[in-house]
Amino acid sequence: MRLSREQSREETRRKLLASASELFAERGVNGTSIEQIAERAGYTRGAFYGNFDGKHELVVALLTRRTERAREELAEMCGRATSSEHLTSLLHAWHRDHAEHQESWLALRLELLLYALRNPEIRPLLAQRELFARDAITEGVRRELVRRDAGPPADPKLLSMIVHALEDGLLVQRLLTPDDVDDRTATDAVTLLLDSWAALDTRKKD
Amino acid sequence: MRLSREQSREETRRKLLASASELFAERGVNGTSIEQIAERAGYTRGAFYGNFDGKHELVVALLTRRTERAREELAEMCGRATSSEHLTSLLHAWHRDHAEHQESWLALRLELLLYALRNPEIRPLLAQRELFARDAITEGVRRELVRRDAGPPADPKLLSMIVHALEDGLLVQRLLTPDDVDDRTATDAVTLLLDSWAALDTRKKD
DNA sequence: ACTTTCAGATACACTCCTGTATCTGAGCGC
DNA sequence: GCGCTCAGATACAGGAGTGTATCTGAAAGT
């Protein structure tokens, strides 16, 4: 099967981006040369510079694609879920997918975070991804609280941000002390938060 | 005041380490050359190689020093605190100190995390620091729960790990969406967790 | 089928980094 | 004070990465 010219162009960009995310996870953004990226994708440096202005534009493209992908996946999950349990199980499956490649996934996340830390202009791009994740959590939490007859949370954005931060922080702790964190720890901790939040809401209503 | 030879040697290592941690935070471990480290410390590359075998040994030394420092500071705080409030306020002050240089502190932490991610043999060194931090939290939480007449927590290690993970995760969320996280968010979230934990313990006892 | 076009390859000139090998001069013992 | 020692400086050889300028060959258009 032959590819048309513009199909081929898209294909090249796609391969280069895939190769770059692998290498960024393995060796870091700064530790990866353009040559290595091109080589793993099956091209030469010339092809790279024909498709990207340089490493910076590549990172921005990578970030954009990741954000867009997360948006689609999460929105699709929220739409597909028929019940609270279904949605939470979907969200957990999503997390578990990441957990499979755990270390390299965490590595890429940290690399991109550091990149955003040093290039403030692209922070909104990364922040957007967090917001999508939090939104999905908001939806899951909302349904869960309703199921418990606890009513909708008082401040859903804040709660989902906290839940998200907790899950994220646990990934790091798991890397450093794997014995202290297992798959259940995250769900247990989140349940704990929800219990407390529900109680708080009840109290407020009184 | 003249320095003796071995004083001078220690001094040089100290300056190089300080210079390195600044530069690692600014540009990353991979993005910093030995020359830049030596230069900022006021030396040349020759001096660096006289004191360290290479970048790897430098990072290990840096990690060791940081861990040791955290241990001392935290232990000293636990010993000095006279009450639950005192200890929690001390712990918060400690965190606030970091928050002042926030971004560069977070950058260095993430850099070292990534370094440990790619060099598994040094993970225990970084993990040790986390354990010290968690221990301090354990102590604070224990006193707080006692003060509330809630009795000691059922699983203090787990709770402090969760609290620590939450605080850590909030730092990242704060970087990306500063408007959603302020100084109080962390304390509020932790209070929430403690409430819930205390309730859980009470329930277990019934 | 001849030409145009453009994706990707090749080649080059340049900068930066590394690690070692050698030099220098200030502290210290005698 | 004289010479030894060692911290730190200087010099060098080599490797790797960057970005651009130029080349090539296969689609696409007529």
B34 — contact with chain A (CB < 8 Å)? no
CB-based contact B157:B131 (threshold 8 Å): no
Report residue A67: phi and psi, to 5°: -60, -45
Calculate the CA dihedral of residues A136, A140, A142, A145 and round it to 10 degrees.
-160
Residue-wise pLDDT for A38-75, tens only, equals 999 999 999 999 999 999 999 999 999 999 999 999 99
Question: Which nucleotide does the CA of A33 lie closest to, via C1'?
Answer: D17
Say yes or no to pLDDT of A205 above 70. no
The b/e string for A87-105 (b: 16+ C-beta within 10 A; e otherwise) is bbebbbebeeeebeeeebb
How many inter-chain contacts (A to B, CB under 8 Å) are there?
141
Minimal CA–CA distance to B20: which of B8, B47, B7, B5? B47
Cβ count within 10 A of residue A53: 10
Least confident of A23-37, A79-93, A122-136, B171-185: A79-93
Contacts of B176 (CB under 8 A, 6+ apart): A116, A123, A126, A127, A130
B26, B131, B196 ranked by CB distance to A192: nearest: B196
Mean pLDDT in residue range A124-141: 94
CB-based contact A167:B168 (threshold 8 Å): no
Q: Is the CB of B9 under 7 A from strand C?
A: no
Say yes or no to pLDDT of A11 above 60. yes
> pLDDT band at residue A1, thresholds of 50, 70 and 90?
very low
> pLDDT band at residue B1, thresholds of 50, 70 and 90?
very low
Interface of A with B in 129-148 (CB under 8 A): 130-131
Residue-wise pLDDT for B130-163, tens only, equals 999 999 999 988 888 888 887 777 788 999 999 9
> pLDDT band at residue A203, thresholds of 50, 70 and 90?
low
Residue-wise pLDDT for B77-134, tens only, equals 988 887 777 887 788 778 777 767 789 999 999 999 999 999 999 999 999 999 999 9
The two three-digit tokens of residue A22, written as one number: 């692998």
CB-based contact A201:A151 (threshold 8 Å): yes
Q: Which residue has the tokens 């994220």?
A: A168
Using CB atoms within 10 Å of the CB of residue A47, give its burial: 0 to 12 exposed, 13 to 18 middle, 19+ buried: middle
> pLDDT band at residue B3, thresholds of 50, 70 and 90?
low
Say yes or no to pLDDT of B45 above 80. yes
Q: How many helices (H) and strands (E) does chain A have?
A: 9, 0
CB contact under 8 Å between B114 and A130, yes or no, is: no
Q: Is the CB of A151 under 7 A from strand C?
A: no
Chain B residue numbers with beta carbons less than 8 Å from the beta carbon of A204 are none
Chain A residue numbers with beta carbons less than 8 Å from the beta carbon of B186 are none
How many angstroms separate the CA atoms of A171 and A180, rounded? 11
How many angstroms separate the CA atoms of B67 and B122, rounded? 12
How many angstroms separate the CA atoms of A77 and A86, rounded? 9
The two three-digit tokens of residue A50, written as one number: 């024909």
CB contact under 8 Å between B172 and A165, yes or no, is: yes
Quote the distance between the C-alpha of residue A42 and its chain's center: 27
| Rounded distance in angstroms from the CA atom of residue A14 to the C1' atom of nucleotide D30 | 33
Q: What is the pTM of this model?
A: 0.93
Q: Rg for chain A (alpha carbons), in Å?
A: 20
CB-based contact B165:B190 (threshold 8 Å): no
> pLDDT band at residue B202, thresholds of 50, 70 and 90?
low
Mean pLDDT in residue range A104-108: 95
Question: Which nucleotide does the CA of B44 lie closest to, via C1'?
Answer: D9
Least confident of A43-52, B18-27, B30-39, B88-97: B88-97
Cβ count within 10 A of residue B75: 14
> pLDDT band at residue B187, thresholds of 50, 70 and 90?
confident
CB-based contact A22:A43 (threshold 8 Å): no
Chain B residue numbers with beta carbons less than 8 Å from the beta carbon of A104 are none
Nucleotides of D under 7 A from a protein CB: 6-11, 16-22, 27-28
> Between these two residues, B89 and B190, which has the higher pLDDT value?
B190
Residue-wise pLDDT for A151-196, tens only, equals 777 788 999 999 999 999 999 999 999 999 988 888 888 888 888 7
A107 — contact with chain B (CB < 8 Å)? yes
CB contact under 8 Å between A164 and B162, yes or no, is: no
Task: Report the Cα–Cα distance between both ends of chain B, in Å, rounded.
Answer: 69
